[in-house]
A = this chain, B = another copy of it.
Amino acid sequence: MTDFNDLPAHVWPRNAFRQEDGVVTIAGVPLPEIAEEYGTPVYVVDEDDFRSRCQDMARAFGGPENVHYASKAFLTRTVARWVDEEGLSLDVASLNELKIALAADFPAERITAHGNNKGTAFLRACVTEGVGHVVLDSEQELVVLDLIAAGERRVQKVMIRVKPGIEAHTHEAIATSHEDQKFGFSLASGSAFRAAEAAIRAENLDLVGLHCHVGSQVFDAEGFTMAADRVLGLYSKIHRELGVQLPELDLGGGYGIAYTEDEQPLDVDAVAHDLLTAVAKTAAELGIDAPVVLVEPGRAIAGPGTVTVYEVGTVKDVTVDEGVTRRYLSVDGGMSDNIRPALYGSLYDARVVSRFTEAAPISSRLVGAHCESGDILVRDASYPADIETGDLVALAATGAYAYAMSSRYNAFGRPPVVTVRAGKTKLMLRRETVEDILSLEA
């Protein structure tokens, strides 16, 4: 642990800054002002951070249209508009995600639809709304989509999701290209080839490429390159045996970000360069045209630019062993606004953002206000001993899968989401109230 007053640049939003008075600002807006105006907890999104990461990805992968922002990380109409304005494409994984994108006037032809069990209504909406790509995940889906497209007298562009059999070094729940999981067609068993053949033969489907996804929070470029290599082998087989050159190759997402000071985010430029070079080289060796590489970052775009600001409430020293104490710092949110520590054992970087802290660090645990002892935000921490009730603490890099997976446990309403840019704040999502909760009662 370096100085607790630092804000490690690779973890915190690009426009986060600690002023001379100790107060942290994002895009020039002091976080205590946001807490005062909107209450706590509150998510604060650095809009320029989000947009700049869209631009970085677009540059690295040869154009914004090759980069599909993964909605599941965090989607609102505003987010969809940002993605559209930056020229990126968009992944959706449910009918409602598609509806939100369309409600933001996101162009349907730049949308790709995912899911292991899309359901007829979602597939039909994809066809009728003119969604650019549907990524087929099962034989059943292939047949159903072909029928729907026939009924609508359309030809639907599709990709085939392939399991290349790579085990990425990540949490099991979010590692998605090994064989024993629900997504895609196995490369090894030949079912991916058979699906490609069926899609090519289907009258109302137009197969434009194969898709694979190595996992989430991947820090190791090797997995992507190995997956690309294996999948290109199938491109070559399809070319040889079926006479079709597939123009696109979707390598999914999974670009790891730094949640803690010790972690280093995956270097997107370097990985993109290596990946595109490897794809070109392998394609040349196989005697096929190199397909355009598409990628699907979600977390790597939405994650680092957002912080969650909490107010410290109860402070309690607990004896955990003879002579050993742990300070429990309770905040006014918890597992309802960020399930990731409880669900995946995820780590976070927390700092006091309302002032400088001076005291020496002591063994600490940052916990939420839920009626559950597993409601822990940071399990093993070393924080200054002078953190006290009323201080504002922020967790960094909460832009992905925090709001998106938030619950109303203990009837906590969801916190608001506030965007900041050039010294100005704007409310993106208002705080949920008990009236919102009661509005579902019949």
Determine whether A371 belongs to the interface, using a CB cutoff of 8 Å to chain B: yes
Check if A359 is an interface residue, CB within 8 A of chain B.
no
Size class of the A contact interface (CB-based, 8 Å): 35 or more
Residues of B within 8 A of A97 (CB): 410-411
Q: Which residues of B contact A114 (CB under 8 A)?
A: 371
Contact status B440-A138, CB under 8 Å = no
In this assembly, does A244 line the interface, its C-beta being within 8 Å of a C-beta of chain B?
A: no
Chain B residue at smallest Cβ distance from A180: B320
Q: Which residue of B lies closest to A120 (CB)?
A: B313
B residues within 8 A CB of A368? 117
**Cβ < 8 Å to B, chain A residues 400-418:** 404-414
Whether A434 contacts B100 by the Cβ 8 Å rule is yes
Residues of chain B within 8 A of A442, CB atoms compared: 426-430
Quick one: closest B residue to A176, CB to CB?
A: B373
Contacts of A441 on B, CB cut-off 8 Å? 76-78, 428-430
Contact of A405 (CB < 8 Å), options: B171, B174, B409, B440: B409
Residues of B within 8 A of A71 (CB): 411
Q: Which of A94, A114, A179, A316 has the most CB of B within 10 A?
A: A316
Which of B115, B141, B332, B404 is A409 in contact with, Cβ under 8 Å?
Answer: B404
Name the one of B173, B370, B408 contacting A342, with C-beta atoms under 8 angstroms. B173
CB distance from A166 to the nearest CB of B (A): 13
User: How far is it, in angstroms, between the C-alpha of A235 and the C-alpha of B150 when the chains are bound?
Assistant: 77
* Bound CA span A389–B140, Å: 9
Q: Are A413 and B182 in contact (CB under 8 A)?
A: no
Take A99-B434, A119-B313 as given contacts and tell me if A372 and B174 are in contact as well, using a CB distance cutoff of 8 Å: yes
Return A30 CB to nearest CB of chain B, in Å. 21
* Chain B residues, CB < 8 A from A137: 314
Sample of 15 more A-B contacts, CB < 8 Å, known A96-B434, A173-B342: A71-B411, A72-B372, A93-B371, A94-B371, A96-B411, A97-B410, A117-B314, A117-B331, A174-B372, A181-B373, A182-B318, A182-B375, A426-B442, A429-B441, A430-B440
